[in-house]
Structure 1
Amino acid sequence: MLNKKTEEKKVAPHLPKEVRLKGQDAIVKENWFLQLFILAVVFGFVSGLVGGMVVNSRFFDNWLWGQDGLGNPATTSSRIESGNLSYENLKRESFSAVFDFYPAAALNKDGFLDPSLKVGSGFFLTSNGYAAASKIILEKFNRKDLVVVDQDKKIYTLEKVAADPVSDLAIVKVNREGASTLSFAGEDDVYSDLDVWLPFLNSGLYQTKVLDADYWIPRIHADYYLNSEKIYRLGLLKNSLDKKSSGIPVVNLRGQTVGMLLGIDASSNFNSFVKSAVISSALKQVLENGIIRRNYLGLQYQEAGEVTGNKKTNRNGVILVNNPFTGAGFVDKKSPLFTVGLKAGDNVLNINDEVISSVRSLPEILLDYSPGSKVKIKYSRDGIEKIEEVILGQISSK
């Protein structure tokens, strides 16, 4: 009894009875969660104080947003998007697939070429020598009058040229095996404000942006009249480049082909490019058939959203019209739709339920099908919609 009273007197009498009986140290040990709470409060206060000092410091700003900072968009796209290449890898992969066209007469007796005599470029799509090039350049020369020169200055000849009947693209066959190639970017990966690169063998990688992924600006009244057998919506680059740049691949940071560079657009003074979907579909046709076979629908029209004075609320689809500049009727006599009973002013809305719009024009939608395919075409007349099933016709490369 004496010991217990003695221990109780060691604790101040004003403290709670439990503390006086067990002792202050025992109570603290039993309430371990109280210790953790106090520790968390102290840690939060200290870390907040130190963190605020760091975040507001010049060192932190440079580390995160400086020229080589982790948060700088110009230097971190490869960290943000999986699959992106470093500058050196992008340069190596794209350069290995690119070649330049020269007139055969540009070769001197020692086999040397004058770089200023280059007439255009191209790039390999398959390891056995199939490549993309500008049809406009190839139409100016006979196939035998051109030679192909790669980054190693090796010289090759052209075996075959297949001109695309619906675009300014050509698929050529070069007598080369083991060529390095570029893969295709998907249609959804081609969009406005996309950073792209152009690999020039004589001057290096040139960086620019896609100004418009679905560019089409009518310059004169005749340009409003379109037909289903011509790709007219192209990509547009931010910068204007030399005419001899035609045929250069437009590549993204993953090393994929976004498109192929064409000439300078007269209305914008910027370079346009044919998109990857056109190139990949043309290559498929050549590999399967030896020529480029495209669909034939035989329609003359204006885009519904571009018809002058059109008061209709529906801006999708195309309005069938006679072309006063060429004399072509709204539907050709050879068209699979000729016997359907279409009339000028009919609004063709979609093909197999895919809406015709500025995002995917009528000729672009037709790229998804092979000649002879059966498709359903919906059109509207006086607010009444109808669906007709037709078999697509064919036009081919020469």
Structure 2
Amino acid sequence: MNILKSAKKITAAIAPHLPKEVRQKGIGVMFWHLPATKAFLITVLFGFFSGAVGGMVINSSPFDEWLWGPNSPINSRNRSVESGAGRVLPRDVLAKKSVGSLVTFYRQSAMVGKENVPRPEDAMGVGFFVTSDGWLATARSAIGKMNKNELAAISFDNQVLEIEAIVFDPISDIALVKVKGGNSNSLPFVLNDYYDTGATLFVPSVNAGMEQSEILLNNYFHAKAKSDYYKSSERLYRFGLLNKSFEKKMFGTPVVTSKGEIAGVLIGENVFVRASLIDSALKSVVKSKEIERVYLGAHFVEAGALIGLSKKQDSGVKITNLEKNSPLLPLGLKIGDLLVSINNENITPLRSLPDILADYLPGTQVEIKYSRGGVEKIVVAELGKIK
């Protein structure tokens, strides 16, 4: 009887809003219905299972590749600097691959002595293998105007290479040289050759190894006079700029990333042509035995260099002259029109008109957007070929 009275007192002490089961079974059941208790139990169970699963995943190779691989979220922030799929190479491996791709150019007249090896001080410039079957890239200044019979090529291990052909790019200062045989140390092109300011690049040398430099500008162009602002659609004028200068004998050397990929070719003391232009030239010469470049026949000045235009107008180029064979003339374009884009790619200081046109082959039809009196129009033009 006393027990029943005690039970009634406990039940009566429990708040009437609680579930019937709690009010009937007593205060002990109430503990398990508290929100804090439920949250605590859920946390313990979740921690146990996530710890078990996480231990299995983190020790697996697929997870390791996802976290630390070339496409990992950790490494993704570096893709704007180096876009290749490979990993960053140790410095000794990078030097071996890069230096192993080098070829030094000399005049044939410098090939003297029993061993037929010229003196280092007679070097004119450098080239490097871009294919395993004997194609080299270099700078026009590294070989001058010499033909294949006047030029000598010596590999990094002092082997004399027979030159079969020399092809010059009509829109830039790069040249391609074909030698007999090949080289297994040919370097791949980087996928994205536009770099952040301060990105680290390397310039290999047979004598000095790997010299490190940094990007100052992606779209460098130097104007000494007012006339330098007037450009042609058939001549490259914006380049990559390094913060370190190199001697003339280094012209034609590759500029490489830490992954051993070609970022460009050195054509001046600290100026280089980007890899995409070498790549397009190589594809053309392999296909047609010459570097075919498109012809638009437009002379222009960049909108950003013009006084009187809106400060926001930093893209596009204003036509200052059209050549008589320009494919733009039959379409009604004239001096004063503002070319805005090619196939929806805006013309900017980072991607100049010659840069964009270098991606196309002669005979390609492209949509050209232009503006006249503030009204934009689109025409379709068939790109010609530089002769």
Give TM-score, length-normalised by structure 1: 0.74
User: Secondary structure of 1:339's partner?
Assistant: helix
User: Secondary structure of 2:99's partner?
Assistant: helix
CA deviations on 1:45-79 (whole Å, 9 max, x unpaired) are xxxxxxxxxxxxxxxxxxxxxxxxxxxxxxxx99x
Does the 8 Å contact 1:159/1:174 carry over to 2?
yes
**1-structure distance, mates of 2:341, 2:152:** 44
Give TM-score, length-normalised by structure 2: 0.76
**1-structure distance, mates of 2:293, 2:262:** 22
Deviates further, 275-284 or 95-104: 95-104
Does the 8 Å contact 1:185/1:257 carry over to 2?
yes
Does the 8 Å contact 1:349/1:378 carry over to 2?
yes
Does the 8 Å contact 1:299/1:332 carry over to 2?
yes
Does the 8 Å contact 1:99/1:201 carry over to 2?
no
Q: Counterpart of 2:296 in structure 1: which amino acid?
A: L
Change (3 A) 1:82 1:276: closer
**2-structure distance, mates of 1:147, 1:133:** 14
Aligned partner (choices 207, 211, 232) of residue 206 of structure 1: 211
Partner of 2:377: 386
Partner of 1:105: 109
Say whether 1:246 aligns with 2:251: yes
CA deviations on 1:75-120 (whole Å, 9 max, x unpaired) are xx99xx9610000110111111111101122222222321011000
**1-structure distance, mates of 2:350, 2:231:** 16
Map 1:238-317; keep pairs closer than 5 Å.
238-264=243-269, 271-311=270-310, 313-317=312-316
**2-structure distance, mates of 1:372, 1:254:** 36
Q: Give the fraction of aligned pairs with identical amino acids, expressed as a percent.
A: 38
Change (3 A) 1:145 1:131: same
Q: Counterpart of 1:343 in structure 2: which amino acid?
A: K
Map 1:117-196; keep pairs closer than 5 Å.
117-188=122-193, 190-196=195-201
Alpha-carbon shift at residue 339 of structure 1 (Å): 1.3
Does the 8 Å contact 1:130/1:173 carry over to 2?
yes
**2-structure distance, mates of 1:356, 1:150:** 40
Say whether 1:337 aligns with 2:328: yes
Alpha-carbon shift at residue 312 of structure 1 (Å): 6.4
Alpha-carbon shift at residue 390 of structure 1 (Å): 0.9
**1-structure distance, mates of 2:292, 2:267:** 22
**1-structure distance, mates of 2:384, 2:143:** 27
User: Secondary structure of 1:365's partner?
Assistant: helix
Q: Counterpart of 2:153 in structure 1: which amino acid?
A: V
Partner of 2:65: none
Q: Counterpart of 1:85 in structure 2: which amino acid?
A: L
Change (3 A) 1:300 1:350: same
User: Secondary structure of 1:137's partner?
Assistant: helix
Q: Counterpart of 2:381 in structure 1: which amino acid?
A: V
User: Secondary structure of 2:293's partner?
Assistant: strand
Change (3 A) 1:109 1:260: same
User: Secondary structure of 2:290's partner?
Assistant: coil
- Name structure 1 gaps, 5 residues minimum: 1-32, 38-76, 265-270, 322-329
User: Secondary structure of 1:377's partner?
Assistant: strand
**1-structure distance, mates of 2:207, 2:307:** 46
**1-structure distance, mates of 2:177, 2:110:** 20
**2-structure distance, mates of 1:312, 1:152:** 55
User: Secondary structure of 1:333's partner?
Assistant: coil
Aligned partner (choices 219, 233, 237) of residue 228 of structure 1: 233
Partner of 1:87: 91
Partner of 1:48: none
**1-structure distance, mates of 2:89, 2:276:** 22
Partner of 2:361: 370
Q: Counterpart of 2:170 in structure 1: which amino acid?
A: P
Partner of 2:340: 349
**2-structure distance, mates of 1:299, 1:312:** 24
Does the 8 Å contact 2:105/2:126 carry over to 1?
yes
Does the 8 Å contact 2:200/2:212 carry over to 1?
yes
Change (3 A) 1:152 1:145: same
Size of the alignment, in residue pairs?
Answer: 309
Alpha-carbon shift at residue 179 of structure 1 (Å): 4.0
Q: Counterpart of 1:370 in structure 2: which amino acid?
A: L
User: Secondary structure of 2:330's partner?
Assistant: coil
**1-structure distance, mates of 2:113, 2:91:** 37
Does the 8 Å contact 1:98/1:248 carry over to 2?
yes
Q: Counterpart of 1:294 in structure 2: which amino acid?
A: R
- CA RMSD across the alignment: 2.2
Q: Counterpart of 1:359 in structure 2: which amino acid?
A: L
Partner of 1:27: none
Alpha-carbon shift at residue 345 of structure 1 (Å): 1.4
- Name structure 2 gaps, 5 residues minimum: 1-39, 45-80
